[in-house]
Amino acid sequence: MATQTIVKRITGNAVTDMEIILEAAEIIKRGGLVAFPTETVYGLGANAFNPQAVKKIFEAKGRPQDNPLIAHISVLDMLDDLARDITFKAIDLAKAFWPGPLTMIFFKKETVPDEVSCNLPTIAVRFPENEIARLLIEKSGVPVAAPSANLSGRPSPTLAEHVIEDLYGKIDMIIDGGQCAHGIESTIVDLTLPGQPVILRPGSITTEMMSKVISECCSPSAYFDVKPIELNTPPKAPGMKYTHYAPKAKLILVSGTAIKAASAINRLIRANPSTKTGVLATTETKDLYDTSAVIKNAGSRETPEEIGYNLFRILREFDKTDVEIIYSEFLEEENFAASVMNRLKKAAGYEIINV
C-alpha cells in the first residue's frame, strides 16, 4: 500500500530541527515508521512496544520474519524496560561504549513483543550516539525498534538518498541527517551464552577495544564469517543466514597484496573486454587499473575507517552504472578492517580469488 513519505532535512537550526524531531516522534507514537540517521547506518524505526507498528517494518523492508530487530534506547534506564538478568560485564561494556555503535544481546522482559525478537527469548539493545537518533527516541518516549533502513538484501543506507531509493512511498517519514559517521552496522555481542561474550557481528567496537574493558572477551561466533550454505546448524543470530549488502552486479574479491591484486584484476579485465567491469580500489592502487574499467576509490588502505565510511555508498554507486562485474581488493583482516571485510565478503557471497 502506498504511503505518503515526508522527507525533512536537519540543517543545524535548533528551532526547525526540533520541529522535525517532534513531528517524527509523533509518527512513532501513532504507530508509524520513521527512517533516521545513526552513527552506523540509517535505521527504520517503530515503537518497540507496538506489535502492529513493528510488523510494518518487516513489510516495508521485505525482511524475513525470523530476522529480529535491535531496540534503540536514549537513556540507560530504558534498558530495564527491555532486558532482565543484566550482568556486570554488560554494565562495564555499556559504561565504556554507550552511547555508541555497540549492540548487546540480553534475555528479554516478557513485556517485549515477540514481533521485535522474532520469538527468541533474547533482545538486542543499542544506545546510539547520533544526536538526531537520541532525540527522536527521547521525544517518542519509547524504545525504538530499528533495523537498517534498506530493502532486505541491499547495501545498508548511509545517506538519506539511499533510504529514498529503497523505501520512498512505503514509510511515513525520512529524516535526512547527512552521511553516517561509521558507515557499517554496530558490533553485536551476545551476553546470554554461558562463558565469555560472543561477537555475532563485527563492527567499529572491536574485540581489542572490548577486551580492555572486560576480561575474557570475546570469541567470535562460529557463524559470522562463513558462507550461509556451509552452516549445518541454525545460526544464533538468524540474520546471519541471509544474503546481505549485495550490489546488483556480481562482486568478486581478490585477495593478495595490493600490487598482486591490482595486476590480477587487470588481467581479468583484459581477458574479458566485452564485459563492463568495475573495480573497488583504494587510494594507493586506483591509478594502477586499466582505464576501461569503472574505478571507484573506497579510501586509503592506511585508514580502514575511511573505507567503512564509503563502502555501502560506493556499492550503491556501482548500481547506477552499467557494470556487470565488480572486482574488489582485500584488506588485511585485523581490527576495524576485519569488520569492513566481513561486509565485503557477505556482499560478494564469499566469492574470493586468491592470488
Residues making contact with ligand AMP (CB under 6 A): 67-70, 105, 117, 120, 122-124, 147-148, 185, 188, 200-201, 236-239
Nearer to ligand AMP by Cβ, of 120 and 280: the residue is 120
Reported as half-sphere exposure (CB side, CA atoms, 13 A), residue 154 has a value of 25
From Mg ion, ligand AMP, none, interface partner of 269 (C-beta below 5 to 8 A by class): none
DSSP letter string over 250-310?
EEEEEES-HHHHHHHHHHHHHH-TTS-EEEEE-TTTGGGS-TTSEEEE---TT-HHHHHHH
Q: What are phi and psi of 21, to 5 degrees?
A: -60, -40
Nearer to ligand AMP by Cβ, of 136 and 254: the residue is 136
From ligand AMP, Mg ion, none, interface partner of 157 (C-beta below 5 to 8 A by class): none
The yes or no reply on residue 103 touching Mg ion (CB under 5 A) is no
Q: Shortest Cβ distance from residue 312 to Mg ion (Å)?
A: 10
Nearer to ligand AMP by Cβ, of 42 and 289: the residue is 42
Provide the sign of the torsion angle of the four alpha carbons 242, 247, 249, 253, taken in this order. negative
From ligand AMP, Mg ion, none, interface partner of 124 (C-beta below 5 to 8 A by class): ligand AMP
Choosing from 50, 140, 148, 310, the residue that interacts with Mg ion (CB under 5 A) is 148
CA angle 338, 340, 344 (to 5 degrees): 110
Q: Shortest Cβ distance from residue 231 to ligand AMP (Å)?
A: 14
The yes or no reply on residue 186 touching Mg ion (CB under 5 A) is no
From Mg ion, ligand AMP, none, interface partner of 90 (C-beta below 5 to 8 A by class): none
DSSP type of residue 66: T
Sequence-distant (≥ 6) Cβ neighbours of residue 86 within 8 angstroms: 79, 80, 106
Q: Shortest Cβ distance from residue 295 to ligand AMP (Å)?
A: 29
Other Cβ atoms closer than 10 A to 270: 12
Q: Shortest Cβ distance from residue 283 to ligand AMP (Å)?
A: 28
Distances in whole angstroms, Cα of residue 329 to Cα of each of 8, 129, 252, 305, 347: 37, 31, 9, 16, 13
* Binding segment toward Mg ion, per CB under 5 A, in 55-63, 143-151, 213-221, 315-323: 143-151
Query: Cell numbers of 269, please?
Result: 579485465
Residues found near Mg ion in the complex (CB under 5 A): 148
